Amino acid sequence: MTDFYQNGIITTLHNLTNRHISDLENDLVQFSQERPLGLLLPSLYSELEGDAMPNILKHIKTVPYLSEIVIGLDRADESQYKKALEFFEPLPQHHRILWNDGPRLKAIDAELAELGLAPKEMGKGRNVWYCMGYILASNKSKAIALHDCDILTYTSELLARLIYPVANPMYNYRFCKGYYARVAGGKLNGRVSRLLITPLIRALKMVLDDNHRYLDYMDSYRYPLAGEFSFHRDVLTDILIPSDWGLEIGVLSEMHRNHANSRLCQVDIAHTYDHKHQDLSLEDVQQGLSKMSIDIAKSLFRKLATQGTEFSPYTFRTLKASYLRIALDFVETYKNDAIMNGLSFDIHKEEKSVEMFAKNIVDAGQMFLDNPMETPFIPSWNRVKSAVPDIFERIYDAVEQDYQEFSGK
């Protein structure tokens, strides 16, 4: 059970009473009469064969308030798409699968690529972007939750608490970020949030003389890398989605750009949370947490640059030194917290992570300076619709045709 303390400049909604899931769902059923609710699931086909997704499906089947479920399916051939249709068939809610590797959606992607409007990288950002386009096309949901498909500790309470703040018509929130304690297997997880993002934001505040409103905003989120958030449909039209590992940071940055802080919140969605863990990848900057840390750092630098911050190689050297000192202090803090709570804690692994992140901050800074024309954002759907006026109808029709052809319905 958490306390009710409000830190930072966005609202935090806590779990103070362990309210029963049936009470939450009764509220959500009522809310859904006025504001239809949807769920977006960006998934790899391989996740359907893992341990997490079957359990997620078991819980989602019981959810009584969803009008629509949209599944973005990546890395699936024709036979795997057919198996995915069978996998999700037990869902009683209206649902559709975006077969992103199928010929119909690939043809649309190729046309958008010729116009310079398609995502340039495969990955979660691309998957989410096309799912958002389909949600705009279907017009079945007014408030939508999104969560990852590798959550090993999933329950329907996570979904109910995640979507509640944007589902409740009495609230004025347009966007809600989920948070949770990353403790599982007797140890602290969430290294990138604990040892990179928070120390880096604090270091940027020390090094930069610019206005810190954006950094204060980012520092208000308890778990900025959570893959779980909810939003109103109307926020989708002009959001710029990053296509790399900076997706979650990029989405938070877009919310800061487009909406007042009073329209944003975060909510405690789970007592325990565990999912697929990425390797540290000390020897390969194109894999695992190493690539993730570079993409996240670049995402922060790009956002600050749009607000007038000037960077130089000297800035990043100073930033590295400040970050390293702050992050190592955090290692000590987390060690003490772990000991008091009876958790295991490997100081060597924690400091190896910090050293890698420190190097990657400088590398990310150099990449940012070397390629000032880089545009890693996928265009907004407003822009795409302006260039291709019937794009939503075509995406909707492609998904329906795939479903009808391969489901036999």
Decide: helix, strand or coil at residue 349. Answer: helix
Q: Is the pLDDT of residue 226 over 80?
A: yes
- What local confidence, expressed as pLDDT, does residue 91 receive? 97
- What local confidence, expressed as pLDDT, does residue 246 receive? 72
For residues 362-376, average pLDDT? 84
Rounded CA gap, 322 and 327, in Å? 9
Q: What percent of the chain has pLDDT over 70?
A: 94
329-346 pLDDT per residue, tens: 999 999 999 999 999 999
The whole-model pTM stands at 0.93
- What integer best gives the mean pLDDT of the chain? 92
Q: Which of 286, 58, 41, 231 is closest to 150 using CA atoms?
A: 41
CB 311 within 8 A of CB 305: yes
Which residues face 42 on adjacent strands? Answer: 72
Which has more pLDDT, 87 or 368?
A: 87
- What local confidence, expressed as pLDDT, does residue 283 receive? 59
At CA 235, angle to CA 234 and CA 237, rounded to 5? Answer: 80
| Structural domains of the chain, ranges and CATH numbers in brackets | 17-171+379-409 (3.90.550), 183-226+275-378 (no CATH)
Helix (H) or strand (E) holding 327: helix 313-340
Question: Strands, E, within 84-209: which ranges?
Answer: 95-99, 143-146, 175-180, 183-184, 187-188
Note the helical H segments in 73-123.
Answer: 78-88, 103-114
For residues 34-49, average pLDDT? 97
Dihedral (Cα; 94, 99, 104, 108), 10-degree rounding: 100
Question: Strands, E, within 233-324: which ranges?
Answer: 241-242, 264-270
171-214 pLDDT per residue, tens: 999 999 999 988 888 888 888 999 999 999 999 999 997 768 99
At CA 341, angle to CA 337 and CA 345, rounded to 5? Answer: 60
For residues 377-402, average pLDDT? 96
DSSP 193: I
For residues 10-16, average pLDDT? 95
Q: Cα-flanking dihedrals φ and ψ of residue 352, to 5°?
A: -65, -40
- What local confidence, expressed as pLDDT, does residue 274 receive? 79
The tokens describing 164, both together, are 């509640």
- What local confidence, expressed as pLDDT, does residue 281 receive? 57
Place of tokens 């997704």: 53
CB 296 within 8 A of CB 192: yes
For residues 90-102, average pLDDT? 97
Q: Is the pLDDT of residue 294 over 60?
A: yes
Decide: helix, strand or coil at residue 139. Answer: coil
Angstrom CA distances, 206 to 145, 314, 323, 397, stand at: 35, 14, 9, 52
Amino acid at 307: Q
Place of tokens 């859904």: 32
Place of tokens 């630098």: 301
Which has more pLDDT, 281 or 72?
A: 72
Q: Cα-flanking dihedrals φ and ψ of residue 378, to 5°?
A: -80, 135
Query: 282 falls in which pLDDT band (50, 70, 90)?
Result: low
